[in-house]
Amino acid sequence: MPEAPSLFPDQIEMAAPPGRGLHGYYRRGDGGWIVVAATTPANRSHYEYKGFTHLPQYGEFKNGTSGGSPKEQDARGVAWNPADEPWRLILQKGGAKEFPVSQIIAYHWHVRPPYRDLEFPQLADVKIIDYQCPECDRGLFSSLNAARAAQQLKTHLTSKIDNAHTYTPTDLRELGKEWGLNFDSARMGKKPVAQKKEAAVA
């Protein structure tokens, strides 16, 4: 696996680009995920109406085209293409704390952060369960809940994307014994089930 790029690369002189249509960062109302979206007054009003919170402290930029030449400057004045590295500016400006644990897990940043010089303080006391597919190096299934991570792995192993991913119930039970997993349980929560007591008969 190639090494992650540095969050603070060396400076390169560049001319400021002309243009319009700035983008920036927002926090979504449902779950708090951080997203990149347009920040023109009309667009900002639209996103805020939908429950997003604009995060102006992390800057604005022209989004550019993926694979194109860097035409923006990051927080240190280094040439930067936001279409290829959308999170560089917010992370350079101390915004790692803004990302909810669910987004960090979904992006697998708890395993491999997007930049070498980066830590997420919100992971300090969090236990994340990771299951790697035993048949390929594409599948990493992560969750705060062991049963949910196991169900993700089960779905992957029975997906039939190739001959190695055609697990039968017997195959899953054998792997479950080897790894100490219960693929048959659909219960995801940790709350105990309340038992209904029978009324005493007089």
The pLDDT score that the predictor gives to residue 6 is: 85
The pLDDT score that the predictor gives to residue 195 is: 45
Cα Rg of the chain (Å, integer):
23
Q: Answer yes or no: pTM beyond 0.85.
A: no
**pLDDT one-digit tens code per residue, 40-83:** 999 999 999 999 999 999 999 999 889 988 989 999 999 999 99
**pLDDT one-digit tens code per residue, 116-162:** 989 999 999 999 999 999 999 888 999 999 999 999 999 999 999 99
Listed range (15-24, 46-55, 146-155, 178-187) with the worst mean pLDDT? 15-24
35: left (phi over 0), alpha (psi -120 to 50) or beta: beta
